[in-house]
Structure 1
Amino acid sequence: MNSPRLAPPTTWFRMGLHRYLGWEQAVTLAANRLSGFRPVRAVFATASRLGDGIGWYAILLGLAWHDGLVAFQPVGWMLGTALVGLLLYGAIKKLTARPRPCAVCDGIRLSVHPLDKYSFPSGHTLHAVNFSLQLTAYAPELAWLVVPFALLVAASRMVLGLHYLSDVLAGALLGGLLAMLALLAQ
């Protein structure tokens, strides 16, 4: 009697990856549909623009101004991890060369121009998580400001048609790792 033949593991992986990518594209399209509403698009475009660095650097300047010399060490760590993050996600983007969803998916509406060509991982999300974790560790009273801001920046990447969910999750993981390493080193 012949037993049914099982597909090799590489086929299982490809089948699973294909299903995941289809699901991820559907999630990305659903998030991007929110940009069809002008007030929603305006909020997320503003969060994204501030997440380019302007918002984080303004918070760091305010912290240095408010706390004086005491803030220089944590602000220095945040700026150092920002530089490491920039180099890290830049290298990963070049290595993976994943096109942005707006370049691949027909239904994606691009709401703002991307800063670079590739999608994986989200540098905005990396910096948002990195800064928000370090800021809330140093100044927990700022959590009410930095946590919602970080969440808006991360969500903006999908709503504006710039990133897939996995790009945002990978950026969040890398940003979290950078923040944890910096906090442990201090």
Structure 2
Amino acid sequence: MSRLRPDAYPSWAERDSSVARWMHGASTRDWVVRVLDAVSRIGDGWVWYIVILALPWFGRESGTACAIRMAIVGLVDLTLYLIIKRWIARPRPCRAIPGVRACSRPLDEYSFPSGHTLHSVAFSVIITVYYPVLAVVVWPFTLLLALSRVVLGLHYPSDVIVGALIGALMAGISFNLL
């Protein structure tokens, strides 16, 4: 079976690569790399797991409902993400674009879609529905995380955009099904 790859459409892939290269230019500043790498590492998942475990204690019934929804959506998202990532098998910009280096350790081999962004958007949607006041915390973090993945040379802009769309879609579907 041939794989549907984003680079199968040259003009689109060229623009995606061009924007990725341009955004990666911010990585020439050490402080930018340090800050964005820290944000990216926080987005690896462990903080979200702590949030899921802590919600029932701090939020009582609504916290438990929020945590359960986050856990279910997280598992569905992870499964979907792994299937798509292996099917598309798009090399990361740091491996495919000359002059773009990985400024942070990638968790796996392929770039499409961004799992960090996918999960962060999904969890931010869910948290915002249950606790709107937390939007001022979770959404700036999620935006910075998405930005970090491109600047650090780990993703193309389209990886992040599609990851965000999948995350938002799955969170939205969860409110219709659960």
TM-score with structure 1 setting the length:
0.87
Alignment size in residue pairs? 171
Residue of 84, 96, 107 corresponding to 2:99: 107
Residue of 6, 30, 36 corresponding to 2:28: 36
Q: Which runs of 5+ in 2 are unaligned?
A: 1-7
Aligned residue identity for 1:145: V
Aligned residue identity for 1:88: L
Q: CA deviation at 1:46?
A: 0.9
**What's 2:4 paired with?**
none
RMSD (CA atoms): 1.5
Mapped contact 2:33–2:103 kept (Cα < 8 A): yes
Cα deviations across residues 85-115 of structure 1 (Å, max 9, x unaligned)? 1110101111111111111111102111111
**What's 1:166 paired with?**
158
Residue of 138, 142, 151 corresponding to 2:143: 151
Q: Which whole-Å CA distance do the structure 1 matches of 2:51 and 2:70 have between them? A: 11
Q: CA deviation at 1:22?
A: 1.3
**What's 2:124 paired with?**
132
Instruction: Name which one, 1 or 2, has greater alpha-carbon Rg.
Output: 1
Q: Which whole-Å CA distance do the structure 2 matches of 1:70 and 1:137 have between them? A: 11
Matched, 1:84 2:72: no
- Give the SS at the match of 1:52: coil
Mean CA deviation greater in 130-139 or 38-47: 38-47
Residue of 89, 99, 107 corresponding to 1:97: 89
**What's 2:60 paired with?**
68
Q: CA deviation at 1:181?
A: 0.7
Q: CA deviation at 1:38?
A: 1.2
Q: Which whole-Å CA distance do the structure 1 matches of 2:136 and 2:19 have between them? A: 28
Aligned residue identity for 1:160: L
Q: Which runs of 5+ in 1 are unaligned?
A: 1-15
TM-score with structure 2 setting the length:
0.91
Q: Which whole-Å CA distance do the structure 1 matches of 2:33 and 2:46 have between them? A: 19
- Give the SS at the match of 1:92: helix
Aligned residue identity for 1:95: W
**What's 2:177 paired with?**
185
